[in-house]
Amino acid sequence: MQFNVFPHDSKFDFMRLRWVSTGLSILLLVVAFGAMATKGFNFALDFTGGVGVELRYQQAPDVDDVRESLAKAGYENAVVQTFGSGDDLLVRLQADKGSGNSAESVGDAVAEAASQPGNPAEKRSSAEISPQVGKELAQNGIYAMLFVVIGFLAYISFRFEWKFAVAAILATMHDVVVVAGWFAVTGHEFDLTVLAGIMGVMGFSINDTIVVFDRVRENFRGMRAPAREILNASINQTLSRTVITSFVAFLTTLALYIYGGGSLQGMAESMMIGIVIGTLSSIFVACPLLMWLGTSKQDLMPKARDDAELARRP
């Protein structure tokens, strides 16, 4: 027996809200772009450079305890990771540009702050992390995002028609901008895990939109009704699937946020926000865009057999 949150034949008039939803979406985009232009991002040392310190302990330390000790010593945004054996830790942190401290002196201070009762930390090495690495990472991240967008556009254009591709890409980019804007507004650290989360949001958003568009295509070919009714019917028929899938995905990322440790919180946070925004955009942004682009039966069948197929329709 199939479980449905909403009845398959529900009659919610989502298209009636298209002006309100579009207005709210535009408002979110304005706020996001405004925050990115004025406040910018709080880039982590993945992008800005800093100091890397290798530590060795007599016994395997608790990473969370080390991270907490460093935060109490003033290194709130230190990245603490195990490497090699369990007795070794790599601590990466942004250097205070105005302090004039060398990497060696910073390493000594970090080793002292990271020492645990009965388990002191020994500094093995410390070195500067070049900002040039961060620039290359940011550039590669932009290239990866462009590659994904172009790939999505080609795939949807091949599977559907260009109007579907345009609507899906616009809805997906809306989600990406809103999630990125969240990090600009809140000032939360933007690191490589956040960038990975945003790219994951793109995949989730496009998948959710394609499911709805698939039903739209089927209904356009099988129903004799205005575009507004067809779009409403398609959203209602896929609503339970959309909500259930999004809820399960949200629970997964919530568990990752709570139990995944500080190094994964940025990715989990970006994906949680992206899942919520992506679910709403597939309903309230992508389908209204299809309506305004004037999608019709003629857009959904190959031109060579279009006339014959339409002639057989009642």
Backbone angles phi, psi at 76, to 5 degrees: -65, -35
**Residue pointed to by tokens 């129903």:** 223
- Percentage of the chain beyond pLDDT 90 is 17
pLDDT value of position 76: 76
> What's 101's DSSP letter?
-
CA distances to 196, 211, 288 from 235, rounded to whole Å, are 29, 10, 11
Please answer whether residues 191 and 271 qualify as being in contact, where contact means their C-beta atoms are separated by less than 8 angstroms.
Answer: no
Neighbours of 33 (CB within 10 A): 14
Q: Which two tokens stand for residue 11?
A: 């009659």
pLDDT of 134 strictly over 80:
no
Q: Which CATH architecture has domain 14-41+133-311?
A: Up-down Bundle (1.20)
| Torsion sign, CA atoms 264, 266, 267, 272 | positive
Q: How confident is the model at residue 135 (pLDDT cuts 50, 70, 90)?
A: low
- CATH numeric code, 50-129: 3.30.70.3400
pLDDT value of position 133: 57
CA distance 68 to 177: 32
What residue spans define the domains of the chain? 14-41+133-311, 50-129
pLDDT value of position 1: 44
β 88-93/79-82 pair status: antiparallel
User: At what angle are helices 192-222 and 227-259 packed, to 10 degrees?
Assistant: 150
